[in-house]
A and B are shown apart, each in its own frame.
Chain A
Amino acid sequence: MTTLKKITQKQLFLPLFSMVLVMLINMIYDVAHGNPFYNFFTISINSQGILYGRLIDILNRGSEAAILAIGMTLVVSASAGTDISVGSVMSLAGGVCCVLLAGFGNVNVNSYAVPLWVGVLAGILTAGLCGAFNGFLVAFLKIQPMVATLILFSAGRAIGLLLCNSAIVYVNVESFKMFGGYTWIFPTPLLITAGCVLVTALALKFTALGTYVQAVGINKDAARISGYKSAAIIFLCYVVCGLFAGIAGITATSRIYSADTNNIGLNLEMDAILAVALGGNSLGGGKFRLSGSIIGAYTIQAITTTLYALGVSSAQAPVFKAVIVIAIVTIQSPVVKAYMKKRKAAKQLESGKEVHAS
């Protein structure tokens, strides 16, 4: 009993448990359809010389959400709020990148107008600037995070559309397709995600970033007395979140080698927020685990992929997401927690009485 409790109280229990559940459903599904139960995990190299399999597919497609989840984790931890502009900012970053590469006004090109790295860097920096704008509003003007990021939520995508003259700008150059394609046998988005996670994990391991963010997120006033500049740290988190949104935006754009401003990153902010919550991190800020959010992001992708495999259309899938969100937040709800505690105390009292009686 106590060991079981210890396991369930671990922070990574929730995302891992969901992940295992999804895998089980997949296995049952496979067996029911006469496939071997390990079908889900099969990874092979196909005729084009790249890794192939459902697991790889999930890892590939979940990349953008996972990259966003990194930044979102920091923002949630430090400011106890969410950045709902990331999807829109992704789209803007992709738009800026493609417009620069294609040359302003062109819709379909086969060669770059500027070097590739200029376009990519400009896209990511634009996103960083968006993050700085959000951070300024939240950290220095003390506006609620959701409200502050609402501005870019509606403007980011629209500015991208204006840049692209409301058209889809195609960049038909092989080197641009690289970010969304394959490197050797691996999907590049997976490698990009790995790179982002690695950089952040190293920053958390070798600098005091984690202590700074968590201290400010848990108790701003105590952190201030101990010499931490809360506003500057919150600002930094939003900038980092913006930069990661930019990277995710470039990746998503490269997949379709075009700036489809209307659709890139659509609703991805919700996935990122959900990933953070599913990873066992409180949306009320404070302590966080990066690994939880990453696993959370891939779990959501696994659920989506599984639903598609079960024949649920992409438009219908949100129904299940809604159920998951409600389940997670209900467990985290202070009222439910208090009720559980009370029940537990009552039970203990009862068993105590019994002991007394005997």
Chain B
Amino acid sequence: MTFNYVITDEVGIHARPAGLLVKAAKEVGSKVTVSCNGKSAEATKLMALMSLGVKKGMEVTVTVEGDNEAVDGETMKKFFEENL
């Protein structure tokens, strides 16, 4: 499953929320990918995520792939809404 999300965090996907995202993505079984501006990064990779340079107001596309992607997708959606 795939969803789009517009970042509301003041500094964007910066170090601390990126760290939280890595933790969250490692907890779900599915493969989570974040894309923005034609670049993409696996959500389990901190530096790759940060190197996307996602700032406030940018739209990211989150792809969740796996046997349990419906449930994991909802988990990730909730994570973005709460933390980013």
Q: Do A and B come from one complex?
A: no
Residues in chain B within 8 A of chain A (CB atoms): none
Instruction: List residues of A whose CB falls within 8 A of some B CB.
Output: none
